[in-house]
Amino acid sequence: MARKRKHQNEQVLMQNAVKTLLANIRFASVDDPVSSIVITSSVPNEGKTTVAINLARAIATSGRDVLLVETDMRRRSLAGQLGVHPSHGLYAVLAGDCTLEEAVVPTKTGDCYFLDAEPNIPNPADILASHRFRKFVKEVNAKYDYVVFDTPPVGTFVDAAVIAAVVDATVLVVRENYVKRRDLVGAYEQLQKAEANVIGVVLNACDRKADDYYYAYYNGDGVRVDLDAEAKAAARVPAAKAQTRPPHPTARTAQAARQAPQTAARAGAPQQAAPAAQPVQAPRPVSPSSTAAMINQFQSTGR
């Protein structure tokens, strides 16, 4: 049950993160709204396909229609993750073997549509750089509110840079503690050479706790602050101070506790109250309020 709840929490966090990503994309250019988006990464296995799928679903659930296009022709994975297997793909549309409507299929998410790519396509970069592909991008931009292209890693193949040059915006997915700095910088420089509009970076597969999901803090050295460790350290400081008491009141309290039976008898207190004032063998923590009450009580009796 706990494992199921953890999985549900992770899904909620993912949905909220993707909705925030969609909002940032919409605010990236208010005067010239973004409608076609390339999702890429610097190296493989950074989670760009997962980001592309979840972004497309977030767009669809927001009331807009979206077309998710498979343009990673060397390592196709969208069809398997979406659970749909169309009869036609991108190459057939570009070659004129079928129409766009015949190749596009709906997914399980309403208003989210999918265009696959055929396997073993020769020279994918040349196909993506063709005039037919540019015409295709204009066509799908006119038919759908959003078009999301899942591309190969830009640091591995030039395909992503070619597509990024003809779409509205590019999002670079970066896996935390995985990609090397030189690979990330090289990928960004390649996108810049292609005059791509890189509107932001998505930090993926990061360790995000529930209490610091919306905010992450970094110190002056650029190291992320562990909020849990900082909270525990801060909680230990008051506890240590609370246990440190002045020596004089503590000594008086201990002495008063030993004289409690005699004081109670002289004051005419009931005999049944005497056992409560007997010294305790094992030390127990005493709150400051009860300690002050005991001191006031014995000071009032002249002890």
Give the per-residue SS3 of 126-184: HHHCCHHHHHHHHHHHHHCCEEEEECCCCCCCCHHHHHHCCCCEEEEEEECCCCCHHHH
What is the spatial distance between Cα 229 and Cα 231, in angstroms, rounded to a whole number?
Answer: 5
Tens-place pLDDT, residues 230-281? 555 555 544 333 344 444 444 444 454 455 444 444 444 444 544 444 444 4
Q: Rounded mean pLDDT of the chain?
A: 78
| 47/111 same-domain check | yes
Query: Would you say residue 217 lies in a domain?
Result: no
| 10/121 same-domain check | yes
Q: What is the pLDDT of residue 285?
A: 45
* Residue 158 · residue 72 · CB < 8 Å: no
| 105/173 same-domain check | yes
Count the domains in the chain: 2
Mean pLDDT of 34-59: 95
Residue ranges making up the domain that contains 252? 245-268+287-303
| 30/120 same-domain check | yes
Q: What is the pLDDT of residue 292?
A: 53
DSSP structure string for 65-132? -EEEEE---SS--HHHHHT---S--HHHHHHTSS-HHHH-EE-SSTTEEEE---SS-S-HHHHHTSHH
CATH number, domain with residue 200: 3.40.50.300
Query: Would you say residue 220 lies in a domain?
Result: no
Residue 263's identity, in one-letter code, is: T
Of the residues 188, 206, 224, which one is the last residue of a structural domain? 206
Residue 83 has pLDDT above 50, yes or no: yes
| 38/170 same-domain check | yes
Strand ranges, E, within 144-285: 146-150, 169-175, 198-204
Tens-place pLDDT, residues 98-138? 999 999 999 999 999 999 999 888 889 999 999 999 999 99
Query: Would you say residue 251 lies in a domain?
Result: yes
Which residues fall within 8 angstroms of residue 11, CB to CB, at 6 or more apart? none
Query: Would you say residue 223 lies in a domain?
Result: no
